[in-house]
Amino acid sequence: MSQKPNNCTEFNIPLDRDSFMQGMLRDLAGVLQDSIGVQEARGFVSIVGARMGDALNTVYRDAFGQSRLNSDQVIDAMLDLKQRIDGDFYIVSQDETEIVLGNRKCPFGESVRGRPALCMMTSNVFGRITAENLGYASVEVEESFAQGHDRCLVRIGLDPQATTNRKPGGREYFRIDEGL
């Protein structure tokens, strides 16, 4: 019978909460993609992302003390959020019609490679926060670590009239909470 050590940190095992969660999400996304297909898996992850986006939107509105965030606050919220979960997003460009964000480090780490369905978390969180505050968002993840790129590039359109030439794969988001 083996004896359990008094302190489990005596084991030299590369496992902590973050690596466990990343592995679990990678495997969950992989199982979904393999069993129902990438597009359907993206749909399931989108539902989770939308819920997370709505919850995070409330958190950031409360933090700013605003019932609606302006465009600068929306960008600050998105960048702060990704920084807090170990991403490295930055502004590539911004104007009245769109925000383009880059990313040097995926919050999912290497676990995201080959799991493009996980990019729907970013799309939905950014889409929900932007649309709920500014009225509309179209989000397109043009490049991603999941697809083998060396960065992520996320284009967030702010004007529904300017997004008539959207590429396939982009998603549109509209304000739901019209009561504010």
**Which residue, 168, 101, 93, 151, is CA-closest to 129?**
101
Report the amino acid identity of residue 176.
I
Report the amino acid identity of residue 155.
R
Within the chain, what is the greatest distance between any pair of CA atoms?
A: 70
**Which residue, 98, 103, 66, is CA-closest to 83?**
103
Q: Name the 3-class secondary structure at 123.
A: helix
Q: What is the DSSP letter of 96?
A: S
pLDDT digits (tens, 9 = 90+) for 144-171: 999 999 999 999 999 998 755 556 568 9
Q: What is the CATH number of domain 17-174?
A: 3.30.1380.20
pLDDT at 4: 58
Across the beta sheet with 152-157, the strand order is 89-94, 98-103, 152-157, 136-143, 171-174
pLDDT at 11: 82
pLDDT at 71: 97
Residue 130 has pLDDT above 90, yes or no: yes
Cβ neighbours, 10 Å, residue 28: 16
pLDDT band (50, 70, 90) for residue 179: low
pLDDT digits (tens, 9 = 90+) for 2-56: 565 566 667 888 888 888 888 888 899 999 999 999 999 989 999 999 999 999 9
pLDDT digits (tens, 9 = 90+) for 67-117: 999 999 999 999 999 999 999 999 999 999 999 999 999 998 888 999 999
